[in-house]
C-alpha cells in the first residue's frame, strides 16, 4: 500500500516536471510576428475529408532581423472561432496555453523557415462541423511557443470559414440502433412465448371448464381457444 502511494506520488511529481519542463506559456505573452494566410474565403464552407486548404506563413518582415532567431519549429493549426465555442467547455480559450482548447487540429508541423512557406492539406475526416480560422505557432528548441500568427484579426471576427463534417451516421449511433433492434427482437420473442404459454393453459382449461371466453386474453389466445 505504502509502495503504491509512493509510486503514485512519484508519477504525479514526474508529470508535474513534464508540465513545467514544457513551460507555462500565456498566449497573451506571445508576439504576433508571423503572417499567415489561408485559401478559404470568409464564410466559405469546406467538406472534411474532401476539400483542401492552402496555407502560407512567414515572418512579418517589418520586425527587425533576429526577431526569429529562437524559432525552431512551426505548427499550423485549425482553431475554433468564438461562435463555435459557445457553451462548449471542451473548446474553451484559455490564456494558459497548456490548457487552451482553441486550436485542436494540427495541419502542418515542420522546421521554421524565415522565408514564406506554403502547404496544401486536405481537411481531415475527424474535424467536426464548426467555424474555424488558421493559426501558426513558432516554437523554440525547448518546444515552448514563442510567437504566433493567424488568419483572423485579434477579436477573431474576420476571415472565418466553415468545415462541414462528413454526413452519414456516426458509429456510436449505429451501435445504439443495433442494440435497440436486438432488444426489440428479444422483446417480441418474449411476448410471443408468453402468449403461447397463456394460450396453452387456456386451451387446457377450456377443455376442462367453460370460462375461457371471459378470460382477459389477447388475439393469440382467442384464436387458439376458438
Ligand atoms: C484543391 O482543391 C482545388 C479545388 O477544389 C483543386 O482544384 C486542387 O487540385 C486541389 N489541390 C490539391 C493539392 O488537392
Ligand atoms: C506586421 O507587423 C507590423 C508591426 O507589428 C504591423 O503594424 C503590420 O500590420 C503587420 N503586417 C501585417 C500584414 O499584418
Ligand atoms: C498553467 O497550467 C499549468 C498546467 O495545468 C499549471 O501548472 C500552471 O500553474 C498554469 N499557469 C498559470 C500561470 O496559470
Ligand atoms: C527555406 O526555404 C527556402 C526557399 O523555399 C529553401 O531554399 C531553404 O532550404 C529553406 N530552409 C530550410 C532550413 O528549410
Ligand atoms: C510572404 O507572404 C506575405 C503574405 O502572406 C506576402 O505579403 C509577402 O510578400 C511574402 N513574402 C515573400 C518573400 O514571398
- In terms of domains, do 135 and 203 share one? no
Nearest CA to ligand 2 atom 14: 35
- In terms of domains, do 190 and 123 share one? no
- In terms of domains, do 40 and 95 share one? yes
Q: Please give the pLDDT value at position 186.
A: 76
- In terms of domains, do 110 and 177 share one? no
Q: Which of 59, 73, 109, 113 to mutate to test the pocket of ligand 4 (most atoms within 8 A of CB)?
A: 113
- In terms of domains, do 55 and 126 share one? yes
* 158-168 pLDDT per residue, tens: 999 999 998 75
Q: What angle do CA 22, 23, 24 make, to 5 degrees?
A: 130
**Distance between alpha carbon 192 and the CA centroid of its chain, in Å?**
44
- In terms of domains, do 53 and 159 share one? yes
How many of the other CB atoms lie within 10 Å of CB of 206? Answer: 18
- Terminus-to-terminus CA distance in the chain, angstroms? 72
Q: What is the mean pLDDT of residues 204-215?
A: 51
SS3 category, 78 = strand
Distance 34 CA to ligand 5 centre (A): 11
Q: Please give the pLDDT value at position 166.
A: 82
- In terms of domains, do 200 and 225 share one? yes
- In terms of domains, do 70 and 147 share one? yes
Cα-Cα-Cα-Cα dihedral sign, residues 194, 199, 205, 211: positive
Confidence band of 188 (pLDDT split at 50, 70, 90): confident
The radius of gyration computed from the CA coordinates of the chain, to the nearest angstrom, equals 31
- Interstrand relation of 31-32 and 145-150 (parallel, antiparallel or unpaired): parallel
Look at residue 215 and tell me if it is in a domain.
yes
Q: Please give the pLDDT value at position 195.
A: 73
CB 149 within 8 A of CB 135: yes
- In terms of domains, do 225 and 196 share one? yes
Q: What is the mean pLDDT of residues 166-173?
A: 61
Beta bridge partners of 34: 59
Q: What is the mean pLDDT of residues 51-65?
A: 95
Look at residue 1 and tell me if it is in a domain.
no
- In terms of domains, do 150 and 211 share one? no
- In terms of domains, do 127 and 31 share one? yes
Q: Please give the pLDDT value at position 129.
A: 96
Mean pLDDT of the chain: 81
Tally of domains within the chain: 2
Q: Please give the pLDDT value at position 24.
A: 84
- In terms of domains, do 33 and 51 share one? yes
CA dist 51 and 68 (Å) reads 32
Look at residue 9 and tell me if it is in a domain.
no
CB 132 within 8 A of CB 156: no
Ranges of beta strands (E only) in 63-174 are 73-80, 103-111, 117-122, 130-139, 145-150, 161-164
Distance 137 CA to ligand 3 centre (A): 19
Closest atom of ligand 1 to 54 CA is 1
Look at residue 32 and tell me if it is in a domain.
yes
Give residue 225's domain range.
169-226
Look at residue 2 and tell me if it is in a domain.
no
Residues with CB under 6 A from ligand 5: 35, 37, 56, 58, 115-116
CB 47 within 8 A of CB 123: yes
Amino acid at each position: 500500500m505504502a509502495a503504491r502511494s509512493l509510486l503514485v506520488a512519484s508519477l504525479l511529481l514526474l508529470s508535474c516536471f513534464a508540465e513545467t519542463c514544457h513551460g507555462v506559456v500565456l498566449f497573451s505573452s506571445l508576439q504576433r510576428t508571423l503572417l499567415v494566410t489561408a485559401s478559404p474565403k470568409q464564410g466559405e464552407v469546406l467538406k472534411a475529408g474532401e476539400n483542401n486548404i492552402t496555407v502560407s506563413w512567414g515572418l512579418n518582415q517589418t520586425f527587425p532581423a533576429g526577431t526569429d532567431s529562437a524559432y525552431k519549429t512551426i505548427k499550423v493549426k485549425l482553431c475554433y472561432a468564438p461562435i463555435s465555442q459557445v457553451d462548449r467547455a471542451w473548446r474553451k480559450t484559455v490564456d494558459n496555453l497548456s490548457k487552451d482548447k482553441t486550436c485542436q487540429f494540427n495541419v502542418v508541423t515542420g522546421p521554421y523557415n524565415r522565408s514564406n512557406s506554403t502547404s496544401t492539406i486536405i481537411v481531415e475526416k475527424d474535424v467536426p462541423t464548426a467555424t474555424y480560422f488558421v493559426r501558426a505557432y513558432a516554437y523554440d528548441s525547448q518546444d515552448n511557443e514563442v510567437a504566433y500568427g493567424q488568419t483572423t484579426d485579434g477579436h477573431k471576427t474576420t476571415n472565418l470559414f466553415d468545415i462541414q463534417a462528413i454526413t452519414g451516421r456516426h458509429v456510436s449511433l449505429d451501435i445504439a440502433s443495433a442494440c435497440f433492434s436486438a432488444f426489440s427482437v428479444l422483446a417480441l420473442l418474449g411476448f410471443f412465448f408468453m402468449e403461447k404459454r397463456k394460450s396453452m393453459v387456456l386451451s387446457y382449461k377450456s377443455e376442462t371448464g367453460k370460462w375461457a371466453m371471459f378470460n382477459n386474453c389477447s388475439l393469440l389466445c382467442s384464436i387458439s381457444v376458438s
